[in-house]
């Protein structure tokens, strides 16, 4: 329910800012909005991760879900008042920060509810269903906004509806026993909690670097997020300013909804393929395959810049990006000790979001206003290739260090 609410909130806020006829947005405004929403939490994420490693995760997540409901209601009020700039960005920032804290908590809690040998399958189900529910929430928001209206009042009502998911999510979390979601009890590490929180980033980075398969997965994921950031910004601009309605293919927010649906279908394919691929190829080769297919998709989009091509590529990148993410999730959850898992997932959050925002910012500076930038899309294909190279080099380095070229599966 929380992820459904996330999808509703993101689509409602995006519609209020980018596709609202009462407002105008250029590429830099879109990039600034994403930076304000995503970057600040990444700076405090390692410290929040340390809390997940020390305090009862069930209680933290319940409190966070209720806090999120209050914040969403506040953002709805800001939208209804027609305010823009700092008020709407700060409100969105607070909601996004709490949502990402909740998602990190759910990820680190997963090994406590399923056996570690089934983490790939569990991640496939949890992440894919979660992403599908986010897409469903986004579709609900788009449909509700079309029914109510696209102005400030309609956007505010659509945003307010996202409160329901947060409240229901808190009720579900209350059904778990205290301590059931971790963290595991461990002996004292000789540091007081404030010190451990302050050193959260260092702890997460040290644990990641000490586990080469996790570090290699992070490199691949970073390349995907950089490339995906470029594609996301250009797609939004294309549907907003360049594309027109043509039969089944729509422009504007409805076209974005079609792209979201195509990406969600790709997630479903990834759910079916990833466990089979990991079982037969291992995690490293599954990641390599995902990166290679992404290169081809990006080049096709650069060559054939049209709404149908965007939808096909959204499907492909939805599948390949999800494959890479599922493999990275499983690597972290199966190979990182539970007592530092929250801090590693906080570092994960930085990899996932900082690279994405940086790519959006660069694309905003280089893109024409209507988003027609095939050179940037081709550059995104190059980023996938660089990610493949970095992933393979890290695995080879670990193989030489361990006296074997065999990569972990």
- Rounded Cα distance between 290 and 317, Å, is 9
Sign of the C-alpha dihedral, residues 149, 151, 156, 158? positive
Give the pair of three-digit tokens for residue 114. Answer: 């399923």
**Residue 406 above 50 pLDDT?**
no
pLDDT at 405: 39
Highest mean pLDDT (candidates 67-81, 171-185, 344-358) = 67-81
Give the pair of three-digit tokens for residue 8. Answer: 């509703």
144 within 8 A of 158, measured Cβ to Cβ = yes
Percent of the chain as helix, strand, coil, to the nearest 5: 80, 0, 20
**Residue 310 above 60 pLDDT?**
yes
CA nearest neighbour of 230 among 167, 317, 132: 317
- Rounded Cα distance between 148 and 22, Å, is 15
pLDDT at 285: 95
210 within 8 A of 39, measured Cβ to Cβ = no
pLDDT at 404: 42
pLDDT at 118: 73
Lowest mean pLDDT among 211-215, 222-226, 336-340, 385-389: 336-340
Average pLDDT for the chain:
81
Across 289-300, average pLDDT: 97
pLDDT at 156: 83
pLDDT at 197: 56
Across 71-80, average pLDDT: 88
4 within 8 A of 137, measured Cβ to Cβ = yes
Query: H or E element: which one contains 402?
Result: helix 374-402
Give the phi and the psi of residue 389 in degrees, each rounded to 5.
Answer: -65, -45
Structure-model confidence comparison of residues 251 and 51, the more confident one: 251
1 within 8 A of 172, measured Cβ to Cβ = yes
- Over residues 131-185, the pLDDT tens digits come to 777 778 777 887 887 778 767 788 788 888 888 888 888 888 888 888 788 787 6
DSSP state of 210: T
CA nearest neighbour of 327 among 408, 217, 246: 217
Q: What is the DSSP string of 188-237?
A: --SS-HHHHHHTHHHHHHHHHHT-HHHHHHHHHHHHHHHHHHHHHHHHHH
pLDDT at 281: 93
Domains by residue range for the chain, with CATH: 2-184+193-399 (1.20.1250.20)
Find tokens 């947005």 and name the residue.
25
Give the pair of three-digit tokens for residue 329. Answer: 């999730």
Reported residue count of the chain is 409
pLDDT at 43: 63
- Rounded Cα distance between 314 and 316, Å, is 6
- Over residues 184-229, the pLDDT tens digits come to 765 445 455 555 555 666 777 888 888 889 999 999 999 999 999 9
In sequence order, what are the residues at sequence separation of 6 or more whose Cβ sits closer than 8 angstroms to the Cβ of residue 155? 12, 13, 15, 16, 20, 79, 145
pLDDT at 366: 92
Which spans in 282-340 are helix H? Answer: 283-303, 307-335
Give the pair of three-digit tokens for residue 293. Answer: 């297919």
Across 237-253, average pLDDT: 85
Reduce the DSSP state of residue 189 to 3 states and report it: coil
Q: How confident is the model at residue 231 (pLDDT cuts 50, 70, 90)?
A: very high
CA nearest neighbour of 274 among 211, 217, 328: 328
CA end-to-end distance (rounded Å), the chain: 33
DSSP state of 337: -
Structure-model confidence comparison of residues 80 and 382, the more confident one: 382
**Residue 36 above 80 pLDDT?**
no
Across 307-317, average pLDDT: 96
Instruction: Please give the share of the chain, as a percent, with pLDDT higher than 90.
Output: 28
Find tokens 């879900």 and name the residue.
65
**Residue 286 above 90 pLDDT?**
yes
Q: How confident is the model at residue 271 (pLDDT cuts 50, 70, 90)?
A: confident
Q: Which residues pair with 325 in a beta bridge?
A: none
Q: How confident is the model at residue 73 (pLDDT cuts 50, 70, 90)?
A: very high
Three-class SS of 99-130: HHHHHHHHHHHHHHCCCHHHHHHHHHHHHHHH
Across 316-340, average pLDDT: 89
Instruction: Please give the share of the chain, as a percent, with pLDDT higher than 70.
Output: 80
């Amino acid at each position: 329910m929380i992820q459904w609410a996330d999808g509703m909130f993101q689509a409602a806020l995006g519609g209020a800012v980018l596709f609202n006829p009462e407002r105008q947005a250029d590429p830099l405004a879109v990039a600034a909005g994403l930076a304000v929403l995503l970057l600040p939490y990444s700076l405090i994420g390692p410290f929040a991760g340390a809390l997940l490693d020390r305090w009862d995760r069930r209680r933290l997540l319940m409190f966070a879900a209720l806090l999120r409901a209050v914040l969403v209601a506040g953002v709805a009020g800001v939208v209804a008042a027609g305010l823009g700039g700092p008020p709407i960005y700060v409100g969105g920032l607070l909601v996004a920060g709490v949502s990402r804290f909740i998602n990190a908590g759910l990820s680190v809690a997963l090994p406590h509810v399923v056996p570690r040998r089934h983490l790939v399958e569990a991640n496939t189900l949890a992440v894919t269903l979660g992403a599908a529910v986010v897409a469903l929430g986004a579709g609900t928001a788009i449909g509700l906004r079309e029914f109510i209206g696209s102005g400030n009042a309609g956007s505010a009502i659509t945003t307010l509806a996202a409160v329901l998911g947060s409240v229901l999510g808190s009720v579900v979390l209350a059904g778990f026993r205290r301590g059931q979601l971790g963290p595991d009890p461990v002996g004292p590490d000789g540091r007081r909690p404030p010190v451990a929180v302050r050193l959260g980033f260092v702890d997460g980075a040290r644990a990641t670097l000490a586990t080469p398969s996790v570090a290699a997965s992070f490199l691949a994921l970073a390349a995907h997020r950089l490339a995906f950031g470029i594609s996301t910004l250009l797609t939004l601009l294309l549907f907003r300013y360049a594309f027109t309605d043509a039969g089944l293919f729509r422009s504007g927010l409805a076209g974005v909804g079609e792209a979201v649906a195509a990406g969600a279908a790709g997630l479903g394919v990834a759910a079916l393929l990833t466990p089979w691929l990991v079982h037969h190829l291992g995690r490293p080769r599954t990641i390599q395959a995902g990166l290679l297919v992404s290169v081809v998709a990006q080049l096709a989009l650069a060559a054939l810049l049209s709404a149908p091509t965007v939808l096909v590529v959204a499907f492909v990148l939805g599948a390949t990006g999800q494959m890479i993410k599922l493999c990275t999730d499983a690597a972290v959850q199966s190979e990182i000790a539970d007592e530092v898992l929250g801090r590693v997932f906080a570092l994960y959050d930085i990899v996932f979001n900082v690279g994405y925002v940086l790519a959006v910012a660069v694309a905003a500076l280089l893109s024409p206003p209507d988003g027609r930038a095939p050179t940037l899309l081709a550059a995104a294909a190059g980023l996938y290739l660089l990610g493949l190279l970095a992933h393979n080099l890290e695995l080879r380095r670990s193989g030489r260090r361990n006296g074997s070229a065999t990569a972990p599966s």
